[in-house]
A and B are shown apart, each in its own frame.
Chain A
């Protein structure tokens, strides 16, 4: 099993450009998440989807939008990238409620110049 697959792995954007980070899981998990990780800040939740058809804001949602396309796929969109969005982005999934173990994708390293 591939687990959680994220694309792209690396991206450089100019300020104001838009892009979508893709995430897909093949574990039949109900819940999916987007995190960003910055030096000294730890992992911060951007958005999550508890189940297909629902999405909710996390700790740092400003400047992002998400789409739970189906049970497998959860995308993160930056409409107008800013240098403050330079970060490593991780997608994760879990079976369901109760805070069970998350499986993470390998991450997307995004630089906004």
Chain B
């Protein structure tokens, strides 16, 4: 089982749609979770952290299910500007090796007019 798995997509959705991305991770000791966004030919940028209680930032909602080792990202009212690749990222147990932030391969989203 790969450490962080995502559906590669692409997800092609119309403007205004709601779209959900899922991610599973294999290391049950993981303690930090993030979603990054990467535009074509650009660097990844932090979109949001994911907390155990779930968190929301505008149209974006992230949830974590530790028991199932599952992370989700929900985008409501999709905009053309949301078109990008979304990377699920899982971090190390606190106190563990600093360099082990694991990136999923990403899910590509294309929002159409």
List A residues at the B interface (Cβ < 8 Å): 31, 33, 35, 40-43, 45, 48, 50, 56, 58, 90, 96-107
Contact = CB atoms under 8 A, between A and B. Distances in A.
For the complex of A and B, the 6 pairs showing the least CB-CB separation, nearest first, are A99-B91, A48-B99, A99-B32, A42-B105, A104-B43, A50-B98
A97 B46 contact: no
Interface of B: 31-32, 34, 42-46, 49, 87, 91-92, 94-95, 97-101, 103-106
B94 A98 contact: yes
Given A42-B104, A42-B105, A42-B106, A99 B44 contact: no
A48 B44 CA distance: 17
Given A90-B44, A97-B95, A98-B32, 6 more contacts: A31-B99, A33-B101, A42-B105, A48-B99, A97-B94, A99-B92
Given A90-B44, A107-B43, A99 B101 contact: yes
SS class, residues of chain A in contact with chain B = loop
B43 A90 contact: yes
